[in-house]
Structure 1
Amino acid sequence: MTEIPVRDEMIPPVPRITMQAFCETADLAAAVEAAALDRRMQKAHVRVQTGGAPAAAAAYAQAPTPNVVLLETRHQSQGEFLGQLDALSEVCDAGTKVIVIGHVNDVTFYRELIARGVSDYLIAPIDALGVVRAISGLFAAPGAPPLGRTVAVVGAKGGVGASTVAHNVGWALSRKLDMSTVIVDLDIAFGTAGLDFNQDPPQGIAEAIFAPERVDANMVDRLLSKCSDKLSLLAAPALLDRTCDLTETAFDNLLDILRASTPAIVLDVPHVWTAWSRRLLVSSDEIVIVAAPELASLRNAKNLVDLLRQARPNDRPPKVVLNQAAIPKRPEIGPSDFAKAIGLDLAAVLPFDAQLFGTAANNGQMIAEMQPNARCAELFNDLAGAVVGRTGERRARRTMLEPILSKLTRRKAS
């Protein structure tokens, strides 16, 4: 099975803005419309129309301008377009950012545009991801640290061990890859992150969700429970004193704050299908679907993969982990058949080990803490590297060490 390669790059999400594009070609109009559907543009309000700079000047003569205006120039001479741009500047509100997309690569023309206050000049043709990248770049502060990477882990079915995978991957990110990591338990009523890390914090995610007007960086920092120097936990209260009928945007502000301060955020998403859970999955940088080798998991995993491919056309497909595999005497769907049915190679196949996983859960420890050399511990480390794009680096280090280790082994044997 071959997957269509998708560029793996961290493009920060676009803030809540208004944008209007004035296109002269159908190709650019289609690219902007596709960009408006990208997960990173979900907070932006985008309108697309034809007409170029003259249409923009006419539209804003009696109406306020949006935060971003995108103009395409194709048929006009450069002098003619600069005149139209000057006319537009007379009706543009202060603070409006202008992007020009042209069909000529001309340094002099570019300098003229920048001198008139144009924010960026792009050369056509440009695809949807190029439009998203350009809009996002307008609002990225120069020299600011990159935003944290969100990894959503969800079970294709209840009881398949998605929380166990999320917690062990988060631990591996902090210990093996030395990344500051926050694990967010989103199962407010029945979350197990506190139990798995042997933590009982007095406060957690509920305080942030049910009092959104009070949420800021200081409050979030107080709610985090520290598990180690690099790993923190935003635990769920696991209480039934109130229901969790949350709005679609309930977690937006919280995640914006975490992304600004933490390189890796692992979201332990419960097996529910609500507006907010769908939004979290679609908007995450990486998605891990955990399934068991049986029919219901296969059906649900395929449905999730198909939906996410459609909703995230500019991103890589989700990673699928087959958990609880090879249970003695249980009829199972084999890994190769499972992968063929969902149309994706499996990211990992985790063998069932009741003794190891059960003891780790009862002790409030991770698998690598119990048995650092266990096969499952290595698989969790590899999966952690894959979700943050460090698999090649890890393999390279291992490859460089292999000759030395093999030489030492030979000497010991002789």
Structure 2
Amino acid sequence: MKQILDAISAPESTSEDFAHLALPESYRAITVHKDEVDMFEGLTTREKDPRKSLHLDEVPLPELGPGEALVAVMASAVNYNSVWTSIFEPVSTFAFLERYGKLSPLAKRHDLPYHVIGSDLAGVVLRTGAGVNAWKPGDEVVAHCLSVELESPDGHDDTMLDPEQRIWGFETNFGGMAEIALVKTNQLMPKPKHLTWEEAASPGLVNSTAYRQLVSRNGAGMKQGDNVLIWGASGGLGSYATQFALAGGANPICVVSSPQKAEICRRMGAEAIIDRNAEDYRFWKDEHTQDPREWKRFGKRIRELTGGEDVDIVFEHPGRETFGASVYVTRKGGTIVTCASTSGYMHSYDNRYLWMSLKRIVGSHFANYREAWEANRLIAKGKIHPTVSRSYSLEEAGQAAHDVHRNVHQGKVGVLCLAPREGLGVTDPELRAKHIDAINLFRGEG
């Protein structure tokens, strides 16, 4: 590993130098263990602690297949799917690995008694498999997390529709929270040159997800002037939705849960902000009954902030807790676009407000390669910025996932893998200097 890190640190290293590096037989990685899937039985979701289930293990280097790459991971990041994996909800990810392992002899590699997690990375290509032409050893890359086989015609208009579509590091093994990762090369994108390793690693999943959900024609197709309600607007996903709304000429209505989070949204440039805790919105009377009066109160507050207009788009991801309110407050003919259900995936809403007002619910899951590439291109051009609040060492990955699980973080939290410290990897200091305030906006928050 030292030789790999030395080569990455040396500006004069060539592709041939990387191609001739000896690869280690094993590497350090954050894992969950198959024999521990029942360890939290009887506990509530909140009581389940990722620090107990996530392990730092030495694992064997996987076999490299055609169309794949081994990447030295300088940094990764925590996403909510890392939390789900760590608490074995809503199902154990080993069910995904077992199913994938039945697909082919090569896919069988993924069905192991341990799961290397992580759906983000920034790093350097070490090896490429047969048939790879676009990437070579030594390339500095980030990875998006869409893993597809593309042997069915269904995925060739939109790769997200491939029957064998999976999320790398969640539904596949050998993820990014490790010193080395195995990816398909059609997951790779150029690393933004003005960002550090930890900054470059953090946007991948959430930035691409927000792009498809809001901007793409596969999502809401946001346009200039749209009022966009964004739940969790300062969080890992919502912070990118807020940036896309502002950059695209829309009007974000940012819903947050504290004055500190409201202030972050203001610093991003948002003006319409609702602190749902301070204004005490309670959309559920009890576990089984929602309160339409609270939906109406919420809608009235939105119109106060928009000059009397309802929202054109709702950027939904909390799910059960907020979905009834989201359907209600959307304007006639508007769109509720949903990509997650972090508060519960059994949604309940009054369908009269959907069908009689010609509203649409659009499901949006991650992004295809083109959408991920465009989202990364905006990062590379300094139009959209990373939202890293802090970084943890690989040894502290359990604590990082715990903080995301308890929502005590802001923006994204990074995980340093091979990078010995924060602040490394910048090769375009001029572009960085131009955007340094926006890059550092979330630093120290949480």
TM-score interval for Structure 1 and Structure 2 normalised by the shorter chain:
under 0.3
- When the two structures are superposed, what TM-score results if normalisation uses the length of structure 1? 0.25
Write 1 or 2 for the structure with the bigger share of strand: 2
Q: Per chain length, whose mean CA-contact separation is higher, i.e. which structure has more relative contact order (CA < 8 Å, sep 6+)?
A: 2
- Structure with higher Rg: it is 1
